[in-house]
Chain A
Amino acid sequence: MITMNPNSKQQTWIKVLLFVLALLPFLRLVWAVFTDHLGANPLEFITRNTGDWTLYFLCITLSVTPLRRIFNLNWLLKMRRMLGLFGFFYAALHFLTFLWFDHFFDVAEMLSDVVKRPFILVGFSAFVLLIPLALTSTNGMIRRIGAKRWQLLHRLIYLIASLGVLHYFWMKAGKHDFAQPLLFAGVVAILLLLRLYWAWTKQRFSMKSA
Chain B
Amino acid sequence: MIILPSEITPREMVASRRQFIKQLALGAAGSAGLLEMATREAFAQNPANRKLAATLNNNFVVMDNKTAYKDATTYNNYYEFGTSKSDPAQTAGGLKTQPWTVVIDGEVNRPMKLDLDSLMKIAPMEERIYRLRCVEGWSMVIPWIGYSLSNLLKKVEPNGNAKYVEFTSLADKSQMPGVRDDVLNWPYTEGLRLDEALHPLALLTFGMYGEVLPNQNGAPVRIALPWKYGFKSAKAIVRIRLTSTQPKTAWNSAAPREYGFYSNVNPEVDHPRWSQGSERRIGEDGFLVKKRKTLMFNGYPEVAGLYSGMDLKKYY
- Residues of A at the B interface (CB closer than 8 Å) are 39-44, 101-102, 104, 113, 116-120, 170-171, 173-177
Report Cα–Cα, A44/B137, bound state, in Å. 11
Shortest Cβ distance from A179 into chain B, in angstroms? 9
Asked if residues B255 and A41 are in contact (CB atoms below 8 Å), the reply is no
Asked if residues A119 and B283 are in contact (CB atoms below 8 Å), the reply is no
Beyond A41-B75, A113-B275, whether A177 also contacts B138 by CB under 8 A is no
Beyond A176-B183, A176-B184, A177-B183, whether A116 also contacts B270 by CB under 8 A is yes
Shortest Cβ distance from A108 into chain B, in angstroms? 14
Asked if residues A40 and B283 are in contact (CB atoms below 8 Å), the reply is yes
Contacts of B280 in A (CB 8 A): 41, 43-44, 101
- Residues of B at the A interface (CB closer than 8 Å) are 68, 70-72, 74-75, 83, 85-86, 138, 183-184, 254-255, 258-259, 270-275, 280, 282-283, 286-287, 290-291
Shortest Cβ distance from B134 into chain A, in angstroms? 10
Contacts of A101 in B (CB 8 A): 280, 286-287, 291
Total contacts A-B at CB 8 Å: 62
Asked if residues B287 and A40 are in contact (CB atoms below 8 Å), the reply is no
Beyond A116-B275, A117-B273, A177-B183, whether A41 also contacts B287 by CB under 8 A is no
**Would you list the 10 A-B pairs with minimal beta carbon distance, nearest first?**
A40-B75, A40-B71, A104-B290, A43-B286, A101-B286, A176-B183, A174-B258, A177-B83, A40-B282, A119-B273
Report Cα–Cα, A171/B282, bound state, in Å. 21
Contacts of B184 in A (CB 8 A): 176
A41-B138, A118-B273 are known; give 14 further A-B pairs, CB within 8 A.
Answer: A39-B86, A40-B71, A41-B280, A43-B287, A44-B280, A104-B286, A104-B291, A116-B275, A117-B274, A120-B273, A170-B273, A173-B273, A174-B272, A176-B184
Report Cα–Cα, A201/B183, bound state, in Å. 42
